[in-house]
Amino acid sequence: MLLSQNLRTAFRALLANKLRSALTILGIVIGVAAVVALMAIGNGATSSITNRIASSGSNLLNIQAGRSQRPSPGQPFNQTNLTYKDYKALVTTLTDVAGIAPAYQSNYTVTYNTLSTSTSVVGVTGDYFSVHTYTISSGRALTDADGASQKQVAVLGTTTVTDLFGTEDPLGKSIKINDKSFTVIGVLTPKDSSGFNDTNDTILIPLETGYNKLFGANAIRNGERTVSAIAVSASSADTVDLVSSQITFVLRHQHHLALDDDDDFRIQNQAELLSTLSSVTTTMTTFLGAIAAISLLVGGIGIMNITLVSVSERTREIGLRKAVGARKNHILFQFLVETMTLSIIGGVTGIGVGMAIAWGVTALNLITAVVSVSSIALSFTFSVLIGLFFGIYPAYRAANLHPMEALRSE
């Protein structure tokens, strides 16, 4: 009964100063909304990055060129290259692998009728699709036979299809890449993208065709055909480290490196990258939530200030209640209920606003924000604790007013 009476008293006090109460609640609303929205955006970024890396396969090893030894002290490092011969050596040597896929990538202007776009053109072999877990939504994938016969065919990503064809079916149509005609034979199933790199804005062509009819001298270094990267899919997660060691051995032999020479290539382990990025994004999400929580503290200070003003304005009321038998704990509880009511209303409203912001970010296709139950529970609990913490001093001050001094107050 005491609680219900105090709730009615609290609502009467809040409604008596609607504007002041609304502004006080607004501080809590902004703080809670910021926590919910920022943590949802952080969770969405984490999920997007995780899904994108996981979609490439946790057993995937990406090999890229590194830097060679300095020619002499004080001289800059030389940039090295991966070659098609490196790829062939890996094919004949590696064990416990599900596939090996070289790729040579360059940017070109691509045209279809009067439309044109600048996009990434990647020369690949037939294994590229299985190694990178690409699937075809329409048409067919490239095969090694396409490369052997140097067919001028292409598979397009969905973004490139939209840029060049709009809603028109691209299959069987002819596009020009650097004024060379290629026939579209397939369209990739879209993959999740994050950041500024759109994985669906791409064109895949046979690697042999690219070497002989498109890439030209740009793909040749020291008389050798180069590749931008080589992807190796281990047969299982248990063999990733073994395959990585084999790759290191083969490439060091291929590049004639001495025992004390550093590797002039880099091997990127998708599983390790996923773990590292997940840790970083989780830390960033927590950091964003902590920054947003500062605004909750500001809202709590607002609650304390307004409650102190309310105590000053209601000094005679407090004196009357004490004169008719109200104890200190009754007065203390009354004002704590008022501050808690402010923080709970602000917390619930803030959760709604934060979820609306997260929904808006998702609707605008900026990022898929993920609102978690834990972020809602955390922000609400924090808002309640803020109301309790910052309400204690004003409530304590009200409870310790002397009845006679309070009654003499004007």
pLDDT (0 to 100) of residue 252: 92
More confident residue, 137 or 74: 137
Task: Report yes or no: 60 and 231 within 8 Å, Cβ to Cβ.
Answer: yes
Reply yes or no on whether the pLDDT at 9 is more than 70.
Answer: no
Reply yes or no on whether the pLDDT at 173 is more than 90.
Answer: yes
Strand intervals (E) in 214-317: 220-221, 224-227, 229-234, 265-269
Reply yes or no on whether the pLDDT at 1 is more than 60.
Answer: no
At residue 124 the predicted structure's pLDDT band, cuts being 50, 70 and 90, is very high
Selection from 86, 89, 67 nearest residue 78 by Cα:
67
> Which residue matches tokens 């006080």?
24
What average pLDDT does the chain have? 81
Instruction: Read off the tokens for 259.
Output: 């025992």
**Beta-carbon count within 10 A of 122 CB:** 20
Least confident span in 104-113, 347-356, 364-373: 364-373
pLDDT (0 to 100) of residue 367: 76
Least confident span in 262-266, 358-362, 365-369: 365-369
**Beta-carbon count within 10 A of 385 CB:** 14
Is 296 exposed, middle or buried (CB count within 10 Å of its CB: 0-12, 13-18, 19+)? Answer: buried
* HEC letters along 66-111: CECCCCCCCCCCCECCEEHHHHHHHHHHCCCEEEEEEEEEEEEEEE
SS3 label, residue 120:
strand
Reply yes or no on whether the pLDDT at 79 is more than 70.
Answer: no
Would you say the pTM of this structure is higher than 0.75?
no
